[in-house]
């Protein structure tokens, strides 16, 4: 369900105030978006999966690869299989720009953030106004 215009404006104000008060925290919370995996990444993940499957089968088939009856090679193969699938289906994280920095808030958001008192005092004032009515 999309946000109303009023809710979107309030969310923009909160975001810009967060950037104004603590830009380091805001950029760390913002994180990045996951991109779709490329064909090369899928192929690499499939190859790692196949190698892991081969290790899993070899670990079960050959007694020489077991330590005290524990199939160590099979466990390594399973971990490789799991890692290959995860690598193949996820894309790399992308921050806001090409340089890896988080995007700066728009000029409109910066104007709102610089306007007068702090974010917390504005939020407190809004809270008081809601309950006084």
* The residue count for the chain: 133
Higher pLDDT, 104 or 133: 133
98 part of a folded domain:
no
- Residue 114 to residue 108: CA distance in whole angstroms: 10
Averaged pLDDT, 25-48: 79
For residue 96, tell me if it sits in a domain.
no
Average pLDDT for 7-31? 80
Taking a C-beta distance cutoff of 8 angstroms, is the pair 110, 73 a contact? no
Report whether pLDDT(125) > 80.
Answer: yes
Q: Is the pLDDT of residue 98 over 50?
A: no
**Residue 84 belongs to what domain range?**
35-91
**Summary mean pLDDT of the chain:** 78
Q: Note whether residue 100 is domain-resident.
A: no
The count of domains in the chain is 2
Do 13 and 25 lie in one domain? The reply is yes
Q: Is 55 among the domain residues?
A: yes
On whether both 30 and 65 belong to a single domain, the answer is: no
Q: Are residues 49 and 70 in the same domain?
A: yes
What's the whole-number mean pLDDT along residues 65-85?
A: 89
């Amino acid at each position: 369900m999309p946000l109303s215009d009023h809710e979107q404006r309030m969310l923009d104000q909160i975001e810009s105030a967060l950037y104004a008060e603590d830009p380091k925290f805001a950029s760390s919370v913002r994180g990045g978006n996951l991109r779709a995996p490329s064909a090369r990444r899928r192929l690499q993940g499939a190859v790692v999966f196949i190698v892991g499957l081969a290790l899993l089968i070899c670990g079960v088939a050959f007694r020489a690869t077991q330590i005290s009856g524990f199939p160590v090679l099979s466990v390594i193969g399973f971990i490789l299989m799991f890692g290959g699938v995860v690598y193949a289906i996820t894309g790399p994280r992308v921050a806001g720009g090409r340089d890896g920095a988080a995007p700066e808030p728009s000029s409109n958001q910066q104007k709102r953030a610089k306007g007068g008192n702090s974010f917390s005092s504005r939020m407190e004032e809004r809270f008081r106004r809601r309950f006084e009515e």
